[in-house]
Amino acid sequence: MSERLRLLDSLSYGCLGLPLALLGLPLYVYLPTYYARDLMLGPATVGGILMASRILDVFTDPVAGWISDRLLPGNWRRRGMLIAGAPILLGGIWMLFLPPDGASSAWLLIGTTLACLGWTLVDIPHAAWIAELSENYYERSLLATTREGFRVLGVFLTLALPLATGTSENLGTVLRQLLILVMFSLPLAVAIAVLTLSEPSTAFRSPSWIQSVNLLWGNRPLRRLLLAYLLDGLANGLPATLFLLFTTQRLAIPEPLPLLLLYFGAGVLGVPLWLKLARKVGKHRAWAVSLALAALSFLPVPWLGPQQTDLFIVTVALTGLTLGGDMALPVAMQADVVDADTAAGGGMRAGLLFGIWSMTTKFALALSVGIAFPLLEIFGYNPKLSYTPDLTLCVLAWLYAGLPAVLKTICIGLVWHFPIDAKAQVQAREQIRRLLQSQNEQRRKG
């Protein structure tokens, strides 16, 4: 890369976020209902298959990151993985979104496994690439916000397309429409990234396994960010999991989809605001501000009822504004933690570290489902009943907004005094240059 990141490079990097986001909502929301209800495989069968594939997906993240770091040649570590992963992802998506008549559970299992594997092979090296496209503390914020801005835009398009085409009631048609978009946009975005972006080849020695584990455990910023990521992921996963239930049962809103459009639309608008704030106060402080705004916005929600939907709309818009900061700024902070690891002798392993972060995020999302629905069942939720008990609605409201507000407040304490700011990141880059120079001298002498 040149010393100064070009806007075109940032767009070339970030555009891959759009096709990946076009897949997120269909895979997690549309697909289970389509296979269980429309294709009549049954909820138990579909749930078991999806759970098994996603458990495997959690463990493949760090493995894929390590392979991207160590096993691919020279300056093709990230690009090579993208080229290998894209066809696998497209093949899995084609199977899932365009099943034959009488598609079996084996078809769903193979398609889901391919899609999850392909997603990992594309998403992990793409995320790790941010640590290598620029060494500049602030330019990494631009890369991250561009990537996450495209992701939010992709989710917005996923929600808007069925409404615009009048096909929201037919999941099969919706999936076919999205398949066409992904089949076109994913290869294009991968080609743009591979052909226009540079990639440095690693010249660092790899530490032994024992040294590698010790470095990871001794990396205080890494441990702190992982904990914040876990808590914030849980805080985001709970309202995401319970949104439809909360809006329809507690607030009696018959059609909540426009609220999701408002949420992600506000997220798109908020992206440049968080980038600007990060330049003024630092990434960690800007993230803390977004966490605080989200927590404050959640506070009145547990007391809202069917007659107060206007206040809930305000909450949706405000929390949507925080979305860009909550998605992009931690990613930019991860890149700085990679520098700290490399400076300590980790050997430039952005893929492994981003794989660990991705695994943590997926675990948090799984944990949110594992907490929310069992608790609701304990407190009386039964979908077969014609009404929902008041106690159940109260617990639903606190799980949807009260607990996330608490979790985000804890995260503020973790990230406000995060040890890597612009000055510390520059010092880490200087240490990396000295380390590389020392290793090169040792090679020449050897």
SS (H, E, C) 128-179: HCHHHHCCCHHHHHHHHHHHHHHHHHHHHHHHHHHHHHCCCCCHHHHHHHHH
For residue 428, give Cα distances in angstroms to 225, 228, 332, 344, 432: 17, 22, 15, 9, 6
Residue 344 in 3-state DSSP? coil
Averaged pLDDT, 272-290: 93
Distance CA(200)–CA(1), nearest Å, equals 8
Q: Could you count the other beta carbons within 10 Å of the beta carbon of residue 322? A: 25
Averaged pLDDT, 371-395: 80
* Least confident segment among 191-200, 260-269, 380-389, 402-411: 380-389
The whole-number pLDDT of residue 202 equals: 65
Yes or no: say if 361 and 226 are a contact pair by the CB < 8 Å rule. no
Q: How confident is residue 444, by pLDDT bands cut at 50, 70 and 90?
A: confident
Distance CA(231)–CA(317), nearest Å, equals 22
Averaged pLDDT, 100-110: 88
Which two tokens mark 91? Answer: 């093949």
Please give the span between the terminal C-alpha atoms of the chain, in angstroms, as a whole number.
Answer: 30
* Least confident segment among 14-18, 51-55, 103-107, 148-152: 51-55
Averaged pLDDT, 167-179: 83
The whole-number pLDDT of residue 1 equals: 42
The whole-chain average pLDDT of the chain stands at: 86
Of 48 and 294, more confident: 294
Q: How confident is residue 305, by pLDDT bands cut at 50, 70 and 90?
A: confident
Q: How far is CA 378 from the centre of its chain?
A: 30
The whole-number pLDDT of residue 2 equals: 40
Among the listed residues 25, 16, 27, the one whose alpha carbon sits nearest the alpha carbon of residue 97: 27
The whole-number pLDDT of residue 205 equals: 63
pLDDT digits (tens, 9 = 90+) for 119-143: 999 999 999 899 888 888 888 888 9
Q: Could you count the other beta carbons within 10 Å of the beta carbon of residue 164? A: 11
Residue with token string 């392979």: 67
* Least confident segment among 69-78, 125-134, 389-398: 69-78
Which two tokens mark 360? Answer: 């943590």
The whole-number pLDDT of residue 224 equals: 93
Cβ contacts of residue 6 below 8 Å, gap of 6+?
none
The whole-number pLDDT of residue 206 equals: 66
Between the ranges 49-53, 86-90, 111-115, where is the mean pLDDT highest? Answer: 86-90
Q: Flag whether pLDDT at 167 surpasses 80.
A: no
The whole-number pLDDT of residue 446 equals: 60
Q: Which residue ranges make up each domain of the chain?
A: 1-135+167-199, 208-446
Q: Flag whether pLDDT at 161 surpasses 90.
A: no
The model's pTM is 0.84
The architecture of the domain spanning 208-446 is: Up-down Bundle (1.20)
Q: How many residues does the chain have?
A: 446
Give percent of the chain above pLDDT 70: 94
Of 114 and 445, more confident: 114
The whole-number pLDDT of residue 235 equals: 94
The whole-number pLDDT of residue 384 equals: 67
Give percent of the chain above pLDDT 90: 35
Q: Could you count the other beta carbons within 10 Å of the beta carbon of residue 288? A: 24
Q: How confident is residue 208, by pLDDT bands cut at 50, 70 and 90?
A: low
